Structure 1
Amino acid sequence: MSIINPNDTLSRQNEKLLQITQSLMRRVEQKNDQSGLAYQQFERAALLETQVRERTKELERTLDLLQESNAQLEAAHTETERARANITEAIETINEGFALFDPDERLVLFNSRFCRDVADITQHLSEGLHFTDYVDLVSQSTHLALSSDETPQDWAAKRLSRHSSDHVVFNVRLMWNRWLQISEHRTARGGTVILQTDVTEMMRSERQQRDEMLDQQARILQATLDHLNQGVCIFDHNKTLVGWNKTMNGILAVAPDRAIRGLAFSALLNMLESELTFHGDFDRARLARWANHRSRRKPIAFEITRNDVQTLSVFAQEMPDRGFVISFTDVTAEREAAQALFDINETLERGVMERTEELGEALAEAERANASKSRFVAAASHDLLQPLSAAKLFMSSLSDQLTEPQTRKVLAQAETALSGVENIIEALLDISKLDAGKAVFDVRAVKLSAILGPLRDELTPVARAKGLELTVVDSSLSVISDPGYLRRILQNLIANAVKYTVTGRVIVGVRRNGGSARVEVWDTGPGIAEDDTQTIFQEFARLDGVATNDGLGLGLAIVERAAMGLGHELSLWSRPGHGSCFSINVPVATVDAASIPKPSDDPAALGDVLRGMIVLLVENDQQVAHAMSLMVENHGAEVLLAQNAAEALALLREIQLVPDVLLLDYQLGAGADGLMLYRDIQQKFGAVPAAIISADRSRELQQDCNAAGLSLLAKPIDRDKLLTFLTGTRAQPARMGGFEFPIAKLVSSPET
């Protein structure tokens, strides 16, 4: 019941509501209990009416939604049925068998072609069938073709193992040579889709193509084998002959038919045993053991002879299928050629030996003749020098008695002639000694000034008589050489320069060259052509037209042989029309010559000199190290011995003492050498006097030692040279200042 008549107009309804409101307000203001209770009841009734109205509207809306939901559900059901029908129609149109299993492995949907090729299980297919039951049904099908050693349970287990993959494709063989391709895929919700495709025609076609290809490959392989000039036999894993080529027929005289196909290896070996002879330590039993070997066979090669006429080189190797192939190569011609070459070689060797013996006898005869010549020249020279000396004495006595100038001039000319003859005889004597190898060199320290000073005094008058200027720059260096032969070398070089220089000057000086001193003789003579640089060092050789002086041309020959015997490098620079420069390289002594004891000194005196000296010897040869240590210690020094570079460095770090002298073997092994060890010691302990000991006499090693400022002592070690070096380290090495002389006036660009 409503207090407002709904049939009234809006204005009337508003008017009534206004009056009701005013009345209610007055009642509230009067605060009457009864009227307040009535108002509360009125208010509660109005609230209940409002709630009933709202609940009625909500119920109406709910009924409307329910009707709408029912309509939608009906439409969805209709759509689902339509979709299911569409899916069923769709999968029925697929040419392959189709089945869908849900995530619980239950069969949900399949078409009529699913398992059609295994018809004996189709009646058992139904919705809800579990996947394992489906596999068991297929494994028990009579249409499934199993291998001879496979059971249905084995097939089912293998099929279930493939089911664990998200995607797998495999083929199943059925009876009557039919094939199904199974494609299994996992859906997004965890279900499984299976497609079955009949690939029988495809498999038959592929097999036919494969068989044809194999036949073609077999024909190609056979043609290739027949083309080879080697005989080839192929055995399978059962050691049965399955193939060979035509060359094999000719090599082993095998009949060209198929009678031996399938023949066992042992039977074939027995058939050919009487014709074959094995070489060396390889025999039939060893070949049989190789063929019967169960594990992997290694390739083998050997030679056999067939009927003592034909030589065959055999090579056998295993194939991947455990079969093996054997090849036979006819090497009869090669072996015959090798034997012929061997026979020819023996004949040649006998001829060479005979010829060598003849040449040896001829060489011995020549050496005997040369020795006889040298002895004759030496004896004749000695005998001739005696009367020449007497004749010079007689002439000297006669010159004191003559007063006429003309007669004294003639007598002086005779004395000059006799002096020339004496010089020639002495030159012949020197040449004979050097050629015979009997020249004795007294190598020791010598001051260059002791040689250059007398030569300057001796040859200056000769140069001045020709109008030449001879300049000899003095040097304070001491060198290691034979004083007599070094003087003879320099005398010949300076005398030749004066002899062949017409105008200008001759300059003699010394240059530092690492650990050596290079004595240079410059002249402003006519120069020497390049083609004549070797000729001038030959005996009795003189260049035509360069001088009118008499002589046999033995000076430079003596210079070359003496320098070679002393180990001094001889060099020549020349420019035709400008001049020449002869130079000789001599090792520098580490101390002044006057303070060095001679090798013939008393050993006790040497011992006093070495007393208190500490020597580090690094030598990997124990016998050499022991001998050197004993010899050095016998002269008063203390020896620290190490066998290699690492041991030497460790020893120095341990004793914290720097030795006085280092004796370092050049070859120390393990990639180290004496020069490298010296640099390491020099870097850690500073400069220490040192010498390299080596049997290597190469120029490269000598240059490396010179560049490092080290002495080189050659093996076998000479006692006197070693003691000379050790005593020389007690004094400071002599230093040579640079010298200058006007070379630029001689040549425009000297190439020294």
Structure 2
Amino acid sequence: MSLIDPADTLERQNDKLVKIAEALMRRVEHQIAEEGAAYAQFERAALLEQRVRERTRELERTLDLLHQSNAQLAQATNEAEAARRNLADAIGTLSEGFALFDPDERMVMCNARFCRDFRDAALDLSPGLAFTEYVRQISRSRALALPPGTDPETWAQERLQRHRDRHVMFNVELTGNRWLQVSEHRTANGGTVVVQTDVTDIVQIERQERARLKDSQARMIRATLDHLNQGVAIFDDGGRLVGWNRKVGALLSVSARYLRIGAGFDTLLGRLSTDFRFSSAATRADFARWAAERGRAGPIRFEVRRGSGQILDVFGQGIPDGGFVVSVTDVTQEREAAERLADLNEALESRVMERTLDLEDALATAERANASKNRFVAAASHDLLQPLSAAKLFISALSDRLETLRDRETLAKAESALTSAEGLIEALLDISKLESDRLSFDIRPIALEELLAPLRDEMEVLADRKGLGLTIVPSSLWVESDPTYLRRVVQNLISNAVRYTQTGRVLVGARRAAGCARIEVWDTGPGIAEADQSAIFEEFRRLDSRASRNDGLGLGLAIVERACARLGHPVGLHSEVGRGSCFMVSVPVAGADASPRVVRGRPVRPAGLSESGLIVLLVENDAELRRALTQLVESWGVSVIEAADAVGAIGLLEDLELVPDAALLDQQLGDGASGTELYRQIRNRWGVVPTAIITADRSESVRRDCANLGLLRLLKPIDGAALGEFLKEAAAPPV
């Protein structure tokens, strides 16, 4: 059956064919839209399945780690129980009373000799006994000889006061003229070890010795020594002990039976426990040799660490009668505080380094993938633009041959579609360039008016077509940026404002704010909801679903964000739904009143340089920049010797036979030479010279090389203030 009646006129047949074609086109477009939605659902399902698999694998790895941890915990528990049994057996063989309290002041264990003399009161010496209860029971024992005027409660309070110290050693008098020495030491986990030793014989001997010291001077010295916070021991010209205080025995843990008149220095040194570790400043042999010389070689000072806890500062010095005196000070708290700070700093640095390495690995992977994508997009965009350009040329040639208006309109639509495709490819090419590591910018001073004036002429045509008012306020500001990319940024912002504003006006201007020029583009468009203000910077994202391809491709703001991120220009957005939007870009101001980033005129003369007599080596292959830097530095009263390359610099230093006080080296010296390599040559031949590397390369590799060599990196355009500070530091005398 024929769809066309042959009897109809040609015009009638043509109208029927047009309507049939339009119906078929609508059907095809509707079918494509449904297929696209189904494909999107399929993609989301595939992505969800992949994420579920990833989470499952992570959970399995976590369970494996948990099983390993449980096995290790069981093994550690068995080892701890065995160690506890061994410890109990060991302390049971001790001749002294021994008890261990945990960090919560509860008894963990004790041996049978502990508190043997106080059994009348200390009846319950079992694990879990509180330290305060242990002291209270001892204070009420009949075996304890309380000092005159002291009741049990007072004695218990004084005993608990002593317990607050990390290391305690004192004597307790018992009835029957007997004495018990009690020593306490803190464990690494904050617990307490209590040792009780019968020192009755020692105390009686000491009393006999003290009875012989009858003259007033000896008693005064003894009183003075006992009131010192340091441990002090005095030896005569024969190396024999003639005076000491209790503190020295407590700090060195030397039993009172060995601290007696006439005890030899070597004997006492040999009584020090083997867990005393001498610092690198002096060994046991060094200390013994110094004592044998009776301090004639001068004073000696070093630190001793006992086990993993107590740290003692030991100082020895000769005295006029030929003997010597040794003082011991507990500096544990000071050293522990310093070590905690150092450990904290090291831990933080380690964590930062670990996170940095992880991020660097992830970043390297992402950058490789991104670089591959960018290379593909750039290559594909370049290849696609050529046939599109050819197609547009063919269409232009064909337009002159068409006679009917309908054919020319159809051809114009085809040309418009090709133009849209060309714009899309160019935008993709811009994004790939902005994401490429090889992109370099031409940062230099720009007059804003030179950038805004051409945009005013270009955008007024677009605004007039839509009946909008466009105002671009003239500006006299100069900024520092790449002129090409900054123009593209502002152009995209203005074209977006014109495209999405239906009625009203668009206003463009620049404000000065904190050393920056804030370029603002205001419009009276529909505005952007706060929830959508981040999404609009994504590629191919348009909030107006009714917009056609001719209304934009959704790449303009993506280009703006990437270009500003690479240039270091912050982007801002203020918008209210129904009232309009304002996009803002902050660009550093160029000029004498802004933060100096390039050498202009004569920055303020750094104080003190003119009298320093400083000689600076300048190596720069750009003749104009070399001349400008030389004039600037010499205006500060500093002598400059200059060279254009590394070979010339080395030859110049050899001819002059001098070493400069400082060096300014350009990183790119031509012929593959670099400023860092030239610095290594200078350091190897003439030693370390304060050096600054001048470079426009902001890459991580150059920053890392300068940091490893301890060099200052001065980025172009050069900051005159930073240059002056560097020369002032170079001129400062060494500390």
TM-score normalised by L of structure 2: 0.43
For the pair shown, which has the larger CA radius of gyration, 1 or 2? 1
Which gives a bigger RCO, structure 1 or 2 (Cα 8 Å, sep 6+)? 1
